[in-house]
Structure 1
Amino acid sequence: MIRSAHLLRVWLISALLVVSQLVVSTAQAQRQISVFRDAEVEALVADYVAPILRAAGIRGSSIQIVLINERDFNAFVADGRRIFINLGVMLESDTPNEVIGVLAHETGHLAGAHLTRLRQQISRSQIISAITMLAGAAAMAAAAGSGNSDAAAAGAGIAIGGQSAAQRSLLAYQRGEELAADRAAITYLNATRQSAQGMLEVFSRFADQTMFTGRFVDPYVRSHPMARDRINQIERLARQSEYFGRSDPPELQLRHDMAIARLTALLDGQRTVARRYPSSDTSLPARYARAIVEGKSGSARNAIQQFDQLIAAQPSNPFFWEMRGTILFENGNPREAARSWARSLELAPNNTMIRVFYGAALVESGDDALLATAIGELERGLANDQSLAFGYRFLGQAYARSGNTAMAQLASGLEAFARGDIQGAKGFAARAQQNLPRGSTGWLRAQDILTYDE
């Protein structure tokens, strides 16, 4: 089953977008796996990995970091251009250095081309298709460990066309490849003058889980077997570095803590926030978490007041403005939301998601004089991230209100394509192409959909 968020205002109070959500069925349970989209968390993880990629000689723009809405501690690479990281890695990490260590290890796999055996189908597929195949591989790997033949069959059905290759290459890492990725990770950390202590702490923690079996083993242990001699090697190399005792910069630690507060508020809600961030805690992360929860389940007016106080403390924080805009939008004030998102975009001009939010608010404001600006912002943002399906919904509305039916149909086709409805996308594209000048940009985009081979 695949489902998607359909309108911006149904996201509760988050910048969350479920790009794909599928159910992995086994004889024991049903499990949903979804991609998590969030402007702040994505920006933070991108900043974590950017210097590591440069040290590895990998062009950062060619690598996509995909956040998975799973609470388990797990990260993996699926091909030569994607790193998948569970939200559990963020939520269970106390410092940026721990997350950076995990990303450095996965970068080692990328740089070493350790997954070249994966079918090119995964490499060129959309996120939805890749997640589907990976989910099937994970189900098969789990079933193989438990001896559950029914679960293995279910996993095989999910990983259509590439199940055996994905299982072998994705989860059954060879010991030599793991050791090579460890050494590469420490090289990258040294090159960027960062400590490998966080990586060592994470791997040491999971090394102790190898005594368990079956469902009690964390996925990170399955995909990254932690022998004690391997941990000893990591520790020896890590302690040889002159940067081993170096701590994360305070400003980066604050960004990490803010992201954890945001995730806690978005994912866990009021009770958890009240327990972890009581009113006696006046730190910025605590105030942030409480303001988000107030916007989700309390008074929008009070939430805006709290965000105005946060902005007074950090006026250049784009994500305070971004979340303020979300609250306003979801409470029926798109004009004011657009003003907040415009300021957020000024502070983070390269953040594609905020740009698409801004364009959506301009459309929703109902002012036809703003449609040209809205179309420009949406087209620019979606050119950089075609997986933001909701943006195409608003783009289609803007074109329709502008009287451009063909481009509205094309936008509907691009939305369907981003959601994984390929046949629906082709239907819209065919209708759009009939009314577009042959060879025009729009006509060619429609042609790309029509010739897409699943």
Structure 2
Amino acid sequence: MAAATAAVFAFGVAGPASAQSAIRDTEIEGIIRGWADPVFTAMGLNPDEVEVLLINDPSLNAFALKGRIMGINTGLIEQTRTPNELLGVMAHEAGHIKNRHLLRDGVQNAGMQPFLMTMALGALAMAAGQPGAGAMLMANSQYFGTLGALRYMQSQEGEADISGARALEAAGESGKGLVDFFENFRAQEVFSDARRYPYFRSHPLSGERIEALRRPVEAAPHYNHVDSPERLADHALIVAKIHAFMDPPNQTLRDYPSSATDFPSRYARAIGYYRDGQTDKAIQGVDALLAEKPNDPYLWELKGQILFEDGRPGDSLAAHQKSVELKPDAPLLRINLAHALIETNDPANLDPAIDQLKRAVAREPDNTMGWRLLSQAYASQGKEGQARLASAEYWFAAGDTDQATQFALRARPLLDRNSVEWRRAVDIVLASGATDQDLQDLDRRQQRRQGPIIEPPASTATLPAATRPAT
């Protein structure tokens, strides 16, 4: 079997100790977006147009970029004590987006705005291209690390505070969490930049700013609105999940001992056993949780992943299929199922895998992992035209128009000229700036020489996160 690449958190090539990366996790995304989307709407933003990136970094930081892109460090999530605090930070960052604030210094003074925009859009295109059973990750350390040097102006901070507080109130939420979050780190005001958390280097904090926010928040009708028990449980779960995947397994098992019987602790322990290679204990832990929550797609996802990583793709199919049945609108879960189907090396499983992948990329056209696996599946069936077109889609989603064009050109002669696939290949070529005349000239040359199928490179994130370091 090929090296396992699907994992609940799958990591790219190791970078420096300070490396930062974008991750995707269907469960965590769903919880956070469920809280934040009504606030985005109340602010006048279309939630579908706001991209929220989870950044694998233990430091306390968050940022907003042009293009309605918001990044939140896992370290910041871990530092929040309540859902309302996390929601408050997200509302503040949404305020920067709504008010079109630009990070200054590194951006404006060094002319880095185009660089950052390219970085951010590349992250969106590629984050979904790494494997993951509901979670995917790409290495991008040199870009995200740059954000620590950037900062907003004090006036922009105040505007974002007020915009966030108003949106929270309009959505029926309290702004108290944002005030509490700032109060908790008020000492950062007197620290030098070198000693401050990255968040408070880019978001200067002051007593005056906190008081200017506190007054309207305390006067708002929903000031005393508190998080529901369900929200508090979800917050505890995502914090436990982040700890379990980011910390060494022995630390997870120490921080969440067997004496802790709450759901998040048992979830974390199951993940800890999984990452420690104790497969039997991991499966036992997940099965115990499934006995309580048999309709939780993410528990089925985790069970399938444990079996997949243990070299048993066939045994993982039932769990992956169950996760898709329970959460059919989650493309990443479909990709996990397709990956397992392909790795069984059973030709009869290729058509079902292709069906799952086509459904996934229809919902997430920028999911490079989906396109890579689709190319692999078509190539295994000997469908060269479709394989090359899927390779073109892979490179197009990854932002490499030159490679995308080359594969699209190789696909065209092998596809029916009246098909949707042939038209898509033409669109990819034209997107590179080519003309119809260019296509005709290239067609003549292609008739004289056909290149072999070259699949997109396997994802660099081939380390099974649950059983490898740095997760």
Tell me the TM-score normalised to structure 2 length.
Answer: 0.79
Shift of 1:190: 1.0
Shift of 1:132: 10
Q: Name the counterpart of 1:295.
A: 274
Q: Distance in 2 between matches of 1:91 and 1:8?
A: 32
Contact 2:335 2:357 in 1 (8 A): yes
Q: Per the alignment, do residues 333 and 22 of structure 1 end up closer, same or farther by CA in structure 2, a change over 3 Å counting? A: closer
Q: Per the alignment, do residues 279 and 141 of structure 1 end up closer, same or farther by CA in structure 2, a change over 3 Å counting? A: closer
Kindly indicate whether residue 70 of structure 2 is the aligned counterpart of residue 83 of structure 1: yes
Kindly indicate whether residue 117 of structure 2 is the aligned counterpart of residue 122 of structure 1: yes
Q: How many pairs were matched up?
A: 412
Q: Name the counterpart of 2:8.
A: 15
Q: Distance in 1 between matches of 2:69 and 2:124?
A: 13
Q: Distance in 2 between matches of 1:404 and 1:137?
A: 39
Look up the SS of the partner of 2:54 in the other structure: strand
Contact 1:291 1:306 in 2 (8 A): yes
Q: Which amino acid aligns with 1:264?
A: H
Contact 1:128 1:420 in 2 (8 A): no
Which of the residues 334, 351, 373 maps onto 1:394? 373
Shift of 1:105: 0.8
Q: Distance in 1 between matches of 2:139 and 2:68?
A: 17
Contact 2:21 2:141 in 1 (8 A): no
Q: Per the alignment, do residues 343 and 358 of structure 1 end up closer, same or farther by CA in structure 2, a change over 3 Å counting? A: same
Q: Which amino acid aligns with 2:123?
A: I
Q: Distance in 1 between matches of 2:197 and 2:429?
A: 42
Contact 1:40 1:319 in 2 (8 A): yes
Q: Name the counterpart of 2:307.
A: 328
Higher mean displacement: 102-111 or 198-207 = 198-207
Which of the residues 102, 106, 110 maps onto 2:89? 102
Q: Name the counterpart of 1:149.
A: none
Shift of 1:281: 0.7
Shift of 1:177: 2.1
Q: Which amino acid aligns with 1:352?
A: P
Shift of 1:206: 3.4
Q: Name the counterpart of 2:442.
A: none
Q: Name the counterpart of 2:247.
A: 268
Q: Distance in 2 between matches of 1:425 and 1:30?
A: 33
Look up the SS of the partner of 2:72 in the other structure: strand
Q: Distance in 1 between matches of 2:368 and 2:250?
A: 32
Contact 2:19 2:142 in 1 (8 A): no
Q: Which amino acid aligns with 1:81?
A: R
Contact 1:21 1:35 in 2 (8 A): no
Which of the residues 49, 56, 65 maps onto 1:62? 49
Q: Distance in 2 between matches of 1:358 and 1:129?
A: 21
Q: Distance in 2 between matches of 1:296 and 1:132?
A: 20
Q: Distance in 2 between matches of 1:129 and 1:61?
A: 16
Q: Which has the higher contact order (CA 8 A, sep 6+)?
A: 2
Shift of 1:447: 4.2
For residues 37-93 of structure 1, what are the alpha-carbon distances to aligned partners after superposition, in whole Å with 9 as ceiling and x for unaligned? 222222222212111112122221122111111111111111132111111121212
Q: Which amino acid aligns with 1:267?
A: M
Q: Name the counterpart of 2:384.
A: 405
Shift of 1:430: 2.8
Q: Per the alignment, do residues 218 and 241 of structure 1 end up closer, same or farther by CA in structure 2, a change over 3 Å counting? A: same
Look up the SS of the partner of 1:58 in the other structure: coil
Which of the residues 20, 23, 31 maps onto 1:33? 20
What aligned pairs does 1:169-184 form with structure 2 within 5 A after superposition? Answer: 171-184=150-163
Q: Distance in 2 between matches of 1:258 and 1:180?
A: 32
Contact 2:371 2:390 in 1 (8 A): yes
Higher mean displacement: 420-429 or 231-240 = 420-429
Q: Which amino acid aligns with 1:38?
A: D
Shift of 1:282: 0.9
Q: Name the counterpart of 1:442.
A: 421
Q: Distance in 1 between matches of 2:263 and 2:201?
A: 37
Could you list the runs of 5+ residues in structure 2 that have no partner in the other structure?
127-137, 434-471
Q: Which amino acid aligns with 2:97?
A: L
Contact 2:22 2:55 in 1 (8 A): yes
Q: Per the alignment, do residues 138 and 34 of structure 1 end up closer, same or farther by CA in structure 2, a change over 3 Å counting? A: closer
Q: Per the alignment, do residues 30 and 347 of structure 1 end up closer, same or farther by CA in structure 2, a change over 3 Å counting? A: closer
Could you list the runs of 5+ residues in structure 1 that have no partner in the other structure?
1-6, 24-28, 143-170
Q: Distance in 2 between matches of 1:255 and 1:331?
A: 29
Contact 2:402 2:432 in 1 (8 A): no
What aligned pairs does 1:244-323 form with structure 2 within 5 A after superposition? Answer: 244-323=223-302
Which of the residues 284, 302, 324 maps onto 1:345? 324
Q: Name the counterpart of 2:203.
A: 224
Tell me the TM-score normalised to structure 1 length.
Answer: 0.82
Q: Distance in 1 between matches of 2:418 and 2:213?
A: 56
Contact 1:77 1:84 in 2 (8 A): yes
Q: Distance in 1 between matches of 2:280 and 2:170?
A: 48
Q: Which amino acid aligns with 2:280?
A: R
Q: Distance in 2 between matches of 1:334 and 1:416?
A: 27
Q: Per the alignment, do residues 202 and 453 of structure 1 end up closer, same or farther by CA in structure 2, a change over 3 Å counting? A: farther
Shift of 1:136: 5.4
Q: Per the alignment, do residues 217 and 68 of structure 1 end up closer, same or farther by CA in structure 2, a change over 3 Å counting? A: same
Contact 1:17 1:38 in 2 (8 A): no
Look up the SS of the partner of 1:126 in the other structure: helix
Identity %: 33
Shift of 1:370: 3.2
For residues 349-401 of structure 1, what are the alpha-carbon distances to aligned partners after superposition, in whole Å with 9 as ceiling and x for unaligned? 22221121122222223333332222121112123224433222321122122
Look up the SS of the partner of 1:32 in the other structure: coil
Q: Per the alignment, do residues 68 and 446 of structure 1 end up closer, same or farther by CA in structure 2, a change over 3 Å counting? A: farther
Q: Which amino acid aligns with 1:186?
A: A
Q: Per the alignment, do residues 447 and 44 of structure 1 end up closer, same or farther by CA in structure 2, a change over 3 Å counting? A: farther
Shift of 1:179: 1.4
Q: Per the alignment, do residues 135 and 210 of structure 1 end up closer, same or farther by CA in structure 2, a change over 3 Å counting? A: farther
Contact 2:20 2:145 in 1 (8 A): no
Look up the SS of the partner of 1:9 in the other structure: coil
Contact 1:352 1:385 in 2 (8 A): yes
Q: Distance in 1 between matches of 2:3 and 2:336?
A: 8
For residues 101-130 of structure 1, what are the alpha-carbon distances to aligned partners after superposition, in whole Å with 9 as ceiling and x for unaligned? 111111112222224995598279432799
Q: Which amino acid aligns with 1:83?
A: M
Shift of 1:422: 4.9
